[in-house]
Amino acid sequence: MDAPSYTPEDAPVPEGEIVIERASTPLDIGPKFNRTVADVVKFLMENGEMVTATQSLSDDMIELFVAEIGAEVRLVDPGEEQELELLKKLDVPAEDEEVDETGWAHRPAVITVMGHVDHGKTKLLDQIRNANVIDGEAGGITQHIGAYQTERNGHVLTFLDTPGHEAFTAMRARGAEATDIVVLVVAADDGIMPQTIEALNHARAAEVPIVVAVNKIDRENADPQRVLAQLAERDLVPESWGGDTIVNEISALQNIGIDELLESLVLVAELEDLRASPEGRAQGTVLEAHLDIGRGPVATVLVQHGTLQVGDPMVAGPAWGRVRALINDKGEQVKEAGPSVPVQVLGLSDVANAGDSFVVAPDEKTARDVADTREHYTRVASLGRDASATAGGARLEDIFSQIQAGEAATLNLIVKADVNGSLEAVTESLKKLEREEVKLSFVHRGVGGITENDVQLAATSNATILGFNVRPDRKARELAETEHVEIRNYEIIYKLLEDIESAMLGMLAPEYEEVVTGDAEVREIFRVPKIGAIAGCYVLNGQITRGSKVRFLREGVIIWKGEINSLRRFKEDVREVAAGYECGIGLSDFQDLKSGDIIETFDEREIART
Ligand code: GDP
């Protein structure tokens, strides 16, 4: 008998939604559609995709095949199904499982402040925090760890410290439900604005009670009545108008009405009757995480159930470890943290993501296994998303020898750019360079800085990374070195095209290599009259030298280039500051600083290519 060949009407395709894991092979998916492996391979070949039976397929290929046979498919990340197994291993109750709530104790409400930009969210958070320090213990220095607690008439409230709905949404997108109450800040002189409405919609989608703070009532042109009318139009009818929305008129600047706002929040918290079990292994959400040079990965977590203790083995997303130390919002080391308490955790293996859930594992080995399995699946998933059939393709430096050898050469590229527009422009222009003997294969294209994942993918798919107005972060740089992945960065399109074209002709020109001499992280921003913004920085690597050339990075994207104008340590002008020290950096005519930004300094030198 002939091997069954591919024809759509051969066998009925199973009805209903079929779950397919990303990066599945023809061997995996064939049987799920009542097709043979050969059917899948043959179809893809006919459509120009040379694949083998055991090769991971890209999303596009799977979708192409599915469209052809008319099946209904849901692509899931590898690991999504396994994740349920992992949770079982960790002994975490499934979402729909009944939990015995007897013996649960009251817990503090967790509050997020949202609203339009400049309406005073940060000021309000600062005001509440400062009030706490003054009548709190002397000398307690509050730390910005991503959340803090405050007390009002014996009731504790937990405030998440990243205002705005971006963080809130990002967390929700990862399945985290950390917020109990939303404070919607509306400036009395400005009224309801686009982001006010967005914030409102997000809060409603999360089904979280909303308390409104009409801010800036100290302003001459403040018109709280107008704001109340606008709120009523959006179904937030104030109590004073007979509705049930609690509205407080405040001035975050002059500390007016803040007490009353806190009282309202205590009231809502009581109505919500928020409870959690303080007993047992802790569970909760990662609020923020970063790599600290001295301390390693640091994660701020919000405990939601149980009590987190020093020495506990825990898993947080893809990171795991034994809790080495816990630091509270006053910068003090603590032994444990119960429900609704935010703490910084030291001792994790890796930097987790905001919104990742964390849980204390039964033992260290389980913690490690779970984290490793997750990491494995994350990697496989990114391969599935990004990989095209790259077998046989080449890197930039090898392309010419392949052409000379008379082989049809394919140049594998990963392109990262600052925005979608430039990504499109770069890819479109690159495609025009394609010729009979050289094809281009875009293994992955994306917006944002060059990450470890990109490098990993480049290594496995034999690709060269082209960055346009973006930079690799340190981890990516290091991995690129060990994996011998070439990263080429450009800020001008024609330079990029010229290089690729030259490579195809075997004449890759000498490159002006930019040697990174140091990088510093912006931790605090000071506004100095007449001078402008000064970045309070911590030097992460190398050294920062006055006058050196600078790239200013936000999440790996170059947002400004220029020079270091002023460099100070403890009010002294200095020439140079080394890694591990703090300093103040002034940049010529650039003011848009944010904490977490990276200032990268570099030298240029010509390197000859071989
Ligand atoms: P955010 O973008 O919502 O976080 O807003 P900020 O807290 O940064 O405040 C924006 C500006 O409004 C800052 O210059 C604040 O000093 C000012 N501001 C905040 N609250 C008040 C207030 O109650 N009254 C007045 N007059 N100004 C305020």
Q: Please tell me the distance between residue 590's alpha carbon and the centre of ligand 1 in angstroms.
A: 22
Are the C-beta atoms of 544 and 581 separated by less than 8 Å?
A: no
Q: Please tell me the distance between residue 95's alpha carbon and the centre of ligand 1 in angstroms.
A: 40
Phi, psi for residue 385 in degrees, rounded to 5: -65, -40
Tell me the per-residue pLDDT of 545-596, one tens digit each, with 9 for 90 and over. Answer: 988 889 999 888 888 888 898 899 888 889 999 988 999 999 877 888 889 9
Token digits for 369? 């296994």
For position 399, what pLDDT does the model report?
Answer: 66
Residue 4 pLDDT more than 50? no
Mutate to test the pocket of ligand 1, among 112, 190, 253 (most ligand atoms within 8 A of CB): 253
Ligand 1 and 119: CB distance under 6 A: yes
Mutate to test the pocket of ligand 1, among 116, 121, 123 (most ligand atoms within 8 A of CB): 123
Q: Tell me the three state secondary structure of residue 459.
A: helix
- pLDDT band of 6, cuts 50, 70, 90: very low
Angle at 467 between CA 461 and CA 468, to 5 degrees: 145
Atom number of ligand 1 nearest to Cα 126: 7
For position 408, what pLDDT does the model report?
Answer: 62
Tell me the per-residue pLDDT of 255-307, one tens digit each, with 9 for 90 and over. Answer: 999 999 999 999 999 999 999 999 889 999 998 888 777 788 899 999 999 99
Ligand 1 and 19: CB distance under 6 A: no
How high is the mean pLDDT of the chain? 83
The span from the CA of 37 to the CA of 137, in Å, is 70
CA proximity to 313, closest of 281, 274, 272, 280:
281
First CA to last CA distance, the chain: 57
Give me the numbers of helices (H) and strands (E) for the chain, helices first please: 15, 31
Ligand 1 and 255: CB distance under 6 A: no
Tell me the per-residue pLDDT of 520-552, one tens digit each, with 9 for 90 and over. Answer: 999 998 888 777 889 999 999 899 998 888 999
CA distances (Å), origin 436, targets 389, 405, 432, 433: 18, 14, 12, 10
Q: Please tell me the distance between residue 195's alpha carbon and the centre of ligand 1 in angstroms.
A: 15
Q: Please tell me the distance between residue 119's alpha carbon and the centre of ligand 1 in angstroms.
A: 6
For position 140, what pLDDT does the model report?
Answer: 47
Q: Please tell me the distance between residue 230's alpha carbon and the centre of ligand 1 in angstroms.
A: 20
Q: Please tell me the distance between residue 558's alpha carbon and the centre of ligand 1 in angstroms.
A: 28
CA distances (Å), origin 237, targets 122, 188, 203, 212, 523: 25, 16, 16, 11, 40
Q: Please tell me the distance between residue 246's alpha carbon and the centre of ligand 1 in angstroms.
A: 21
For position 609, what pLDDT does the model report?
Answer: 46
- pLDDT band of 119, cuts 50, 70, 90: very high
Ligand 1 and 376: CB distance under 6 A: no
Residue 347, H or E segment: strand 342-348
For position 159, what pLDDT does the model report?
Answer: 95
Residue 230 pLDDT more than 80? yes
CA distances (Å), origin 361, targets 316, 351, 441: 10, 18, 43
Are the C-beta atoms of 396 and 463 separated by less than 8 Å?
A: no
Atom number of ligand 1 nearest to Cα 185: 3
SS3 content of the chain, % helix, strand, coil (to 5): 30, 35, 35
Residue 80 pLDDT more than 90? no
Asked whether the CA dihedral 229, 233, 239, 241 is positive or negative, the reply is positive
Q: Please tell me the distance between residue 118's alpha carbon and the centre of ligand 1 in angstroms.
A: 6
What average pLDDT does the segment 30-57 reach?
A: 84
Are the C-beta atoms of 433 and 379 separated by less than 8 Å?
A: no
Are the C-beta atoms of 340 and 287 separated by less than 8 Å?
A: no
CB atoms within 10 A of CB 83: 16
Ligand 1 and 594: CB distance under 6 A: no
Are the C-beta atoms of 62 and 24 separated by less than 8 Å?
A: yes
Q: Tell me the three state secondary structure of residue 170.
A: helix
For position 483, what pLDDT does the model report?
Answer: 80
- pLDDT band of 5, cuts 50, 70, 90: very low
Atom number of ligand 1 nearest to Cα 163: 4
Ligand 1 and 549: CB distance under 6 A: no
Are the C-beta atoms of 262 and 128 separated by less than 8 Å?
A: yes
**Residue whose CA lies nearest to ligand 1 atom number 9:** 120
CB atoms within 10 A of CB 105: 12
For residues 62, 64, 69, 74, the Cα torsion angle rounded to the nearest 10 degrees is 40
Ligand 1 and 196: CB distance under 6 A: no
The span from the CA of 35 to the CA of 299, in Å, is 47
Got the DSSP string for 254-321? TTBSHHHHHHHHHHHHHHHT-EE--SSB-EEEEEEEEEETTTEEEEEEEEEESBEETT-EEEETTEEE
Q: Please tell me the distance between residue 252's alpha carbon and the centre of ligand 1 in angstroms.
A: 7
For position 166, what pLDDT does the model report?
Answer: 65
Q: Please tell me the distance between residue 505's alpha carbon and the centre of ligand 1 in angstroms.
A: 58
Whole-model pTM: value is 0.58
Are the C-beta atoms of 88 and 359 separated by less than 8 Å?
A: no
Q: Please tell me the distance between residue 177's alpha carbon and the centre of ligand 1 in angstroms.
A: 28
For position 507, what pLDDT does the model report?
Answer: 56
**Residue whose CA lies nearest to ligand 1 atom number 25:** 216
Q: Tell me the three state secondary structure of residue 62.
A: helix
Ligand 1 and 166: CB distance under 6 A: no
Phi, psi for residue 262 in degrees, rounded to 5: -65, -40
**Residue whose CA lies nearest to ligand 1 atom number 20:** 120
**Residue whose CA lies nearest to ligand 1 atom number 19:** 120
Residues in CB range of 412: below 8 A, 6 or more apart: 390, 393, 394, 395, 441, 443, 458, 461, 462, 463, 464
- Strands 247-249 and 319-327, by their bridges, are unpaired
For position 236, what pLDDT does the model report?
Answer: 92
Q: Please tell me the distance between residue 122's alpha carbon and the centre of ligand 1 in angstroms.
A: 7
Ligand 1 and 152: CB distance under 6 A: no
- pLDDT band of 132, cuts 50, 70, 90: low
**C-alpha R_g of the chain:** 28
Ligand 1 and 165: CB distance under 6 A: no
The span from the CA of 147 to the CA of 138, in Å, is 20
Residues in CB range of 600: below 8 A, 6 or more apart: 471, 516, 518, 519, 550, 551, 552, 553
Residue 248 pLDDT more than 90? yes
The span from the CA of 417 to the CA of 556, in Å, is 10
Higher pLDDT, 42 or 508: 42
Residue 363 pLDDT more than 80? yes
The span from the CA of 182 to the CA of 169, in Å, is 13
- pLDDT band of 390, cuts 50, 70, 90: very low
- pLDDT band of 347, cuts 50, 70, 90: very high
- DSSP annotation of 491: S
Ligand 1 and 262: CB distance under 6 A: no
The span from the CA of 410 to the CA of 414, in Å, is 13
What average pLDDT does the segment 134-150 reach?
A: 64
Higher pLDDT, 454 or 273: 273
- pLDDT band of 188, cuts 50, 70, 90: very high
Ligand 1 and 374: CB distance under 6 A: no
What average pLDDT does the segment 19-45 reach?
A: 86
Q: Please tell me the distance between residue 570's alpha carbon and the centre of ligand 1 in angstroms.
A: 28
Tell me the per-residue pLDDT of 407-432, one tens digit each, with 9 for 90 and over. Answer: 667 788 899 988 877 888 888 888 88
Angle at 353 between CA 22 and CA 128, to 5 degrees: 145
Q: Please tell me the distance between residue 216's alpha carbon and the centre of ligand 1 in angstroms.
A: 7
Q: Please tell me the distance between residue 215's alpha carbon and the centre of ligand 1 in angstroms.
A: 8
For position 387, what pLDDT does the model report?
Answer: 42
Ligand 1 and 525: CB distance under 6 A: no
Tell me the per-residue pLDDT of 306-320, one tens digit each, with 9 for 90 and over. Answer: 999 999 999 998 889
**Residue whose CA lies nearest to ligand 1 atom number 1:** 118
Asked whether the CA dihedral 412, 418, 420, 421 is positive or negative, the reply is negative
Strongest mean pLDDT among 40-54, 144-158, 336-350: 336-350
Q: Please tell me the distance between residue 121's alpha carbon and the centre of ligand 1 in angstroms.
A: 7
CB atoms within 10 A of CB 96: 5
